[in-house]
C-alpha cells in the first residue's frame, strides 16, 4: 500500500493543490492511516453505543450507532493524523516497534486520564476495546512500514 501511496503522492505533488496538501509536514500516507484509525475507532464507538440499546429499543440502533460514530470521528481525525504522522516520522528509526508501542501506551494513558476527568463511570472499560484495536492497528502500521522499507 505504501508503494501505491508514494506513487500517488508523486503524481499529485506536482500540482499546485498537491504541493499545498502534501508538504514536508504530512503526506498522503499520514492521511491514509488517519482515515483508517478514525474509521476503526468510530465503528467501535458506534458499536459501544449500540450494545446497551440492543435490549432496550431496537428502533434506535441506527441512530445510536451514528451518534457514537460521529461523536468520535470529528475529533479523532485530528488526533489520528498527528498519531499517524509520528509513526511515519519514526519509520527510519532502529527501534520503530518499541517507539511505536510506547507512543501507543502514552496515548492510551492519555485517553484513560481524559475519561477519568470527564467522570466516566468506568474509564477502564471505556478505553479497553479501543486500546486493543489501537494496538493491533498500530502494529499493523509499523509492520507495513517495515515491510516496505526493509528495516
DSSP secondary structure of 47-113: HHHHHHHHHH-GGGHHHHHHHHHHHHHHHHHHHHHHHHHHHHHGGGSTTHHHHHHHHHHHHHHHHHH
| Joined grid coordinates for residue 21 | 496538501
The pLDDT assigned to 9 comes to 62
Rounded Cα distance, 77 and 83, in Å: 10
Nearest alpha-carbon partner for 108 in 79, 66, 142, 70:
79
Question: For the whole prediction, is pTM greater than 0.75?
Answer: no
Q: How does pLDDT run across 65-112, given as a tens digit for each residue?
A: 777 787 777 777 778 888 888 888 888 888 889 999 999 999 889 888
| pLDDT classification of 3: cutoffs 50, 70, 90 | low
Amino acid at each position: 500500500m505504501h508503494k501505491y501511496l508514494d506513487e500517488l503522492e508523486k503524481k499529485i505533488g506536482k500540482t499546485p493543490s498537491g504541493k499545498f496538501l502534501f508538504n514536508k509536514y504530512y503526506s498522503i500516507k499520514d492521511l491514509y492511516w488517519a482515515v483508517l484509525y478514525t474509521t476503526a475507532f468510530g465503528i467501535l464507538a458506534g458499536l459501544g453505543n449500540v450494545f446497551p440499546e440492543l435490549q432496550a429499543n431496537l428502533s434506535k440502533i441506527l441512530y445510536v450507532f451514528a451518534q457514537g460514530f460521529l461523536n468520535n470521528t470529528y475529533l479523532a481525525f485530528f488526533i489520528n493524523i498527528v498519531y499517524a504522522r509520528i509513526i511515519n516520522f519514526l519509520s527510519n528509526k532502529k527501534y520503530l516497534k518499541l517507539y511505536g508501542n510506547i507512543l501507543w501506551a502514552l496515548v492510551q494513558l492519555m485517553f484513560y486520564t481524559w475519561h477519568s476527568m470527564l467522570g466516566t463511570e468506568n474509564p477502564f472499560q471505556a478505553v479497553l476495546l479501543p486500546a486493543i484495536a489501537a494496538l493491533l492497528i498500530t502494529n499493523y502500521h509499523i509492520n507495513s512500514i517495515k515491510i516496505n522499507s526493509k528495516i
